[in-house]
A and B are shown apart, each in its own frame.
Chain A
Amino acid sequence: MTREEIIDKILELLKDEFEIVNPDLDDNLTEKYEFDSIDAIALLEYVEDFIASPLTQEEKKQAMEIRSINHICDFIEDVLKKRK
């Protein structure tokens, strides 16, 4: 899965499920879009579906530090690498 494919999927998810439209990849989602801890948990459920693999508790804890779309993509790439 390429970085571009991951970005496209995340942008689609943010638009369809979180009503976040045309964000910048480095926008702080919490500050700019009020993306809170409840949203973060929900996003991780979608990520699990997207990568077709459940996340570990440790991975979820790491994900709670994520603030931008680029961070989300970095996180997904790291998880996918570990799964190989």
Chain B
Amino acid sequence: MERRVVITAESAITPIGHGKKNIFSNLVNGVSGVKNIKKEDDLLAKYLHSKVFGIIDYEIAYDFSRKFTKTLGPVSYYACQVAKEVIEQADLDQELLSSGRVGIAFGSTHGSPTVQRNIYEAFFDPERKGYARINATDYLKSMAHTTAVNITRMFGITGRVIASCTACTTGSQSIGYGYEAIKYGLQDAMICGAADEYDTTTIAVFDNLLACSTAYNDRPHMTPRPFDVKRDGLVVGEGAGAVLLEEYEHARRRGATILAEVVGFSCSNNGGDLILPNADGVKRTIRMGLENARLNPGDVGFISAHATSTKVGDIVEAQAIHAEYGEGPLVTGLKSYIGHTMSSCGVIETIFTLYMLQEGVIVPTLNLEEIDPRCNMIQHVTSMKEMDVSIASIQNFAFGGVNTSLFIKKWI
């Protein structure tokens, strides 16, 4: 038996704001959340060639008691806040949250790197005095599944736990696996999302691969530039997002406000290289997603491309979209507004796409001034379009050769 799955709440903390009103305003006004990296970071900042980052530079009013904060690293503060907001928005009561029928699918790239650095200090202390300070709290704050289980602890969630940590496909896998858990009757609702905190380790990884943007350090808002002829690499960012997925009848019986429907998901691996973009893998994932959603390529009106702004990645993605969809759907690279928020990019881009479906507006790829001829076979959005799109796809790809394709439908 297959059941319909709908989105009944959303929340995002992003470099262009927190909450729909703030975020959507910045999207339609073309505001970039990319800034210079924090100068006071004395760890790696001075060695990096890339000096730009999608930064959350505003205060977030957390209201968590010490009982819960003692196991939260920075990444879990973000995660618990967006989870709290979707629970409140959807008006989920404690009885339901603790019924075993509500689960969590939430991840991060690698837990909390800030807390992990504190742990590693013991390794470099010749007398190992810090050894005794490596304790359970540090582990709970920094472990790979820290976001998922801190959310379950804070809100008394007793259903299944899925804690993907597949880098840039973490958030999209969370939604996809949450969707499958409800679709096949294993759960009635799932809180799905991902979060990543400010961290220069990730920049260093891409910087050393020559994949980070370096030419716009003096004009951060001009990068990243998906599909643009002058793009010079990705910009790492931080952020978090969560959506509440719910079985349709369950949502209807509760009187919940339905925001959109999740109609399909696919995930596959390239089965080979762990880094290089792979057109066959992307094309296969799109085909699998369309089949799963029971859609024809012509049904899809908008694609949120992964589009990290790397030289090769954008070309491969544009060609794959063209091969499977032709010139039909509009395509925007939403990382142009916020940088690459790593694990959370899939869920944040899904939420941005949801806003556009709701408001009847498709925003352009920021900084796309001259389309690279090698990416020019698809319908890029270069200026804001007011139009009614029914079905959208969100594409994400990750180190390790992981590809995902998610399909959502406007709720009318």
On A, residues with C-beta under 8 Å from B are 18-19, 34, 37-39, 41-42, 45, 48, 54
Contact = CB atoms under 8 A, between A and B. Distances in A.
Interface stretch (B66-74, B201-209, B347-355, B371-379): B66-74
A14 B137 CA distance: 17
A3 B65 CA distance: 31
B133 interface: yes
A17 B133 CA distance: 16
B68 to A, nearest CB: 11
B136 A38 contact: yes
Interface in B98-145: 132-133, 135-137, 140
A36 to B, nearest CB: 8
Contacts of B65: 19
B141 to A, nearest CB: 10
Given A19-B65, A41-B137, A42-B137, 8 more contacts: A18-B66, A38-B70, A38-B137, A38-B140, A41-B135, A42-B70, A45-B132, A54-B132
Contacts of A45: 132-133, 135
A37 B136 CA distance: 9
Contact of B136 (A18, A19, A41, A48): A41
B67 A42 contact: no
Interface residues of B, number: 11
A19 B66 CA distance: 7
Interface string B67-93: 100110000000000000000000000
Contacts of B136: 37-38, 41
Task: Output the residue of A38, A42, A45, A54 with the most chain B CB within 10 A.
Answer: A38
12 contacts: A18-B66, A19-B65, A34-B67, A38-B70, A38-B71, A38-B137, A41-B135, A41-B137, A42-B135, A45-B132, A45-B133, A48-B132
Contacts of A38: 70-71, 136-137, 140
A66 to B, nearest CB: 17
A41 B137 CA distance: 9
A2 to B, nearest CB: 27
Which secondary structure dominates where chain A touches chain B?
Answer: helix
List 6 tightest A-B contacts by C-beta distance, closest first.
A19-B66, A41-B135, A38-B137, A41-B136, A38-B136, A34-B67
A48 B133 CA distance: 11
A13 to B, nearest CB: 13
Contacts of B132: 45, 48, 54
A25 B132 CA distance: 28
A41 B135 CA distance: 8
Contacts of A37: 136
Nearest to B133: A45
A45 B130 CA distance: 11
Nearest to A39: B70
Contacts of A39: 70
Contacts of A19: 65-66
Contacts of B137: 38, 41-42
Contacts of B133: 45
Interface string B37-78: 000000000000000000000000000011100110000000
A48 B135 CA distance: 14
A20 B380 CA distance: 58
A13 B133 CA distance: 17
A34 B135 CA distance: 19
A21 to B, nearest CB: 12
A63 B135 CA distance: 16
B25 to A, nearest CB: 38
A18 B137 CA distance: 14
A57 to B, nearest CB: 10
A48 B136 CA distance: 17
Nearest to A37: B136
A30 to B, nearest CB: 12
A63 to B, nearest CB: 13
Nearest to B135: A41
